[in-house]
Structure 1
């Protein structure tokens, strides 16, 4: 993902990314300052506080919207004037790889397109998917409990529009090629303004056929392949990442044969990693990692453990037992989190996602709160930063933001608990206050990232093997693509000190070995290292 104005022809199966690529996930107004457009405030934060640590930024929907904090788009071609202008977006794209949402499954019921649908004339009048209440909809899979169909009086009579998420988010009908044509124009505009990474929001629900599950249909995969072809032909260095909060095996299908998404969200990582650190047992995380196929050249995993949404539980289905899931949900509730629900295919109410700031989710274990909040939180990131793929770090994790109960009370939406808006002066005061954890979190995570981006063995496509070190030590081995660097990544995932015998690792005796995080040389390969609770080591034969 090079920043360049040159025309470059990229061959298929080419890795356009490296160990230097880190993506910050943020709203355009996560940090605000009086009398300054938030996008300019964000740019200042990136240029000063982040400095040269993070080279990419995912600005969550920055368009005019009516609900869902941006994901009910009113106008795809405009910047929300409360955030700034297209010039502000372009200024960021000149210095950072810019990732933007393509909210392609639905738009706002207040959009001009839907207004025309209601009128029964003009662009948009035939853009939306409709069904009848007596159609066979029993197998439809969706992440909400609200009624699927919304009754609307239109110029063409009564219609029932399809609403996968909410009645303010009306689903498009991609059977109409004009809808696809409209989105190709939108993509072209975003490319021209400097977008290089497209996040295909809720793409799994794109195509609907009554009488089916209406998720992951073959036509949806065909649309992803087509969009990739169109985007690559227009801008060879641009890439697609699919957002599919679904069970792991289904999620993996969006790679296709390395001809669909360049990247997929590694949705199973957040619940499995949280479960590991709250139980002190890495069994499920280790089993999952062992089963994951390496990403082919030209594809990547997008790793994250916190985002603007909650910690999804569907990607843990089949990976964690029902008892494990129940314990995880109850523990998060005890730490002040909220639970969002969905209706299963049997009509049962099931936990869909856990809404909590990641820092607060790490307050303790399944046995209750303890003194290891900071260490557990850092351990989670040290594991994520080292895994195969590109790391995405949520701005509120980078800052150690805690649950925002005031915003939750104002909006009555569970996801608001982890979507704080920092006043810039309040943030600066928090980062300057040594008695608070925010500065320590920021400096520690930046230090880990600054170490990561120098290691060829942390290339997103570098070799990875899972280590077998028991249930309290979670470890894996990375090797650079030129085979010159090896890194053994081991974390104590428990609240007790654990001894790591170096003899359990394949540390070749003719090499010199270093611990990258502490920057200490290892002089005796038969020694044992005592790992304090939640300590991580990165043991490398190359120091950079």
Structure 2
């Protein structure tokens, strides 16, 4: 049935998605019935009017803090309560949203091998604690959609041939052509298991404790739609679709970014935005840049995509003192349509991905970057190639240690370099995400790596809250200096219309040692020239080079300096950033 002047109903749209997803899959139930089931699970009406399209559900005030639920610990207090108390006491309204990494019961990978999607890990707290955070901050949660734990009830039932779980996991034969499969790990792809139906080989993209789900089975899709509905009810507004690029598998293909995968994202977008108009989907796809951008679709897939190429390119820029590669990439990035945005980050719980730099940095540049990071205490994780060889996949290091020096070694400019990196990210088009350990200037945790045996643990430190507060109260500590300076940048950013995630951006050409770009507010009232010296040598800058309009009085929003003459000659200190605006900073 069509609603209004030939417009498809919500049920029609859902059924169209399903036709694409299951076009090559024989089903035991009609697609119309499956569509009705999904609408019932989401509590949606078949003829429900669609939400307005191309609407930006964000502005320059939005900043997402990324953290584990137990990164901050206090005696005799649930970690989620401790987290909220720290945010309430210290964030000063500068953080609009919190991404709590998987807070469900799990068996490995620090949460990404989920045992039970419907529960909160008792060691962290409960749904009331999650709700308290969601009441004061936009809550971002992981939808770990590609795989779940091999110790989950679903997988136990798969082995027993019972429901729910029977037929939930993707199986293949060792004789299948799997040579083209793209993976981020070096472990064997297939895991042999004995089941009630005999020996089967389950697909494990990431680890043998993380078994891939089989979305060819519509019951799996219904389960995840039910999980989405539950998370919405619990206050989740932003959904991070973890490892979604690997979702659909077809032996003989690379099993990455398949059309069925994109259509599942489109279906989730349709369902979620009808359930909550300002809900946001973010795809986590640690893949080469062009493939990553494909998850925007035609503004009908992800609202936001992780800007995975930014971390390695910005890190390379600051350790080499040369911004050419970063500048070329910034120039090549298409403006996000209204209703979509880039999700910018330069550090996270994972490492600094190298695949998103493929085709952007040469092998020589990548090898130099890897060698430099290893000299700063970093580790390297690898992935398997079709040939059976291994290739570096990511660098594991705390960002403050990654920026302690240059390719020539450590120096005295580490703090300024670290702040410069964040000033660049905060100025760029997109919504910024800041990892808690970057906000706090947390160093490499080599002891945690030794304890866990996992390289990624280097950047997953757990702070005792009393020790952290003592460090932040010490005005001379690096933690205190970083925390205060980053909060100052966040406070300035939120007051500038030119820093709206969708505001116009244009790249400036100021040489290889100065990165510059221009932002203009959507109402065209404000211009901000973002200019950073990305080298450890002072750099001259003549304001004539950025063509300031004489009719305005220009000032640096960071230092407060006013520029009386538009041909004024400046000298940028090592790693100094200017945000030169034609409007005063309204405090």
Question: CA offset at residue 348 of structure 1?
Answer: 2.2
Summarize the alignment of residues 67-466 of structure 1 with structure 2, pairs less than 5 Å apart.
67-466=108-507
Per the alignment, residue 3 of structure 1 pairs with none
Question: CA offset at residue 10 of structure 1?
Answer: 4.0
Question: CA offset at residue 514 of structure 1?
Answer: 1.1
Distance in 2 between residues matched to 1:21 and 1:325, nearest whole Å: 32
| 4+ residue segments displaced more than 6 Å | none
- Please, which of 42, 58, 64 is the counterpart of residue 83 of structure 2? 42
Contact 1:8 1:236 in 2 (8 A): no
Question: CA offset at residue 21 of structure 1?
Answer: 0.3
Distance in 2 between residues matched to 1:51 and 1:509, nearest whole Å: 37
Question: CA offset at residue 9 of structure 1?
Answer: 7.6
Distance in 2 between residues matched to 1:411 and 1:8, nearest whole Å: 50
Question: CA offset at residue 69 of structure 1?
Answer: 0.2
- Please, which of 504, 507, 514 is the counterpart of residue 548 of structure 2? 507
What whole-Å deviation, never above 9, does each CA across 1:197-235 have from its counterpart, x for those lacking one?
000000000000000000000000000000000101111
SS in 2 for 1:121: coil
Contact 1:140 1:212 in 2 (8 A): yes
Question: CA offset at residue 347 of structure 1?
Answer: 2.4
Question: CA offset at residue 71 of structure 1?
Answer: 0.2
Aligned-residue CA RMSD (Å): 1.0
What whole-Å deviation, never above 9, does each CA across 1:344-387 have from its counterpart, x for those lacking one?
22322111000000000001000111100000000000000010
Give the TM-score taking structure 1 as reference length: 0.98
Matched, 1:488 2:529: yes
SS in 2 for 1:99: strand
Distance in 1 between residues matched to 2:179 and 2:284, nearest whole Å: 24
Question: CA offset at residue 434 of structure 1?
Answer: 3.1
What whole-Å deviation, never above 9, does each CA across 1:32-77 have from its counterpart, x for those lacking one?
1010000000000110111211111000000000000000000000
SS in 2 for 1:294: coil
Distance in 2 between residues matched to 1:331 and 1:441, nearest whole Å: 23
Contact 1:271 1:313 in 2 (8 A): yes
Distance in 2 between residues matched to 1:143 and 1:76, nearest whole Å: 24
Question: CA offset at residue 506 of structure 1?
Answer: 1.9
- Consecutive unaligned residues of structure 1, counting only runs of 5 or more, are 1-6
- Please, which of 559, 572, 577 is the counterpart of residue 518 of structure 1? 559
Per the alignment, residue 4 of structure 1 pairs with none
Distance in 2 between residues matched to 1:465 and 1:8, nearest whole Å: 37
SS in 1 for 2:328: helix
- Please, which of 57, 61, 68 is the counterpart of residue 102 of structure 2? 61
Task: Say which is worse superposed, 356-365 or 425-434, in terms of deviation.
Answer: 425-434
Contact 1:73 1:111 in 2 (8 A): yes
Contact 1:118 1:125 in 2 (8 A): yes
Distance in 2 between residues matched to 1:133 and 1:183, nearest whole Å: 29
Distance in 2 between residues matched to 1:263 and 1:424, nearest whole Å: 33
SS in 1 for 2:122: coil
Distance in 2 between residues matched to 1:357 and 1:474, nearest whole Å: 24
Q: How many residue pairs are counted as aligned between the two chains?
A: 538
SS in 2 for 1:139: coil
Per the alignment, residue 476 of structure 1 pairs with 517
Per the alignment, residue 71 of structure 2 pairs with 30
Distance in 2 between residues matched to 1:542 and 1:160, nearest whole Å: 63
Contact 1:286 1:474 in 2 (8 A): yes
Distance in 1 between residues matched to 2:420 and 2:562, nearest whole Å: 21
What whole-Å deviation, never above 9, does each CA across 1:163-198 have from its counterpart, x for those lacking one?
000000000000000000000110000000110000
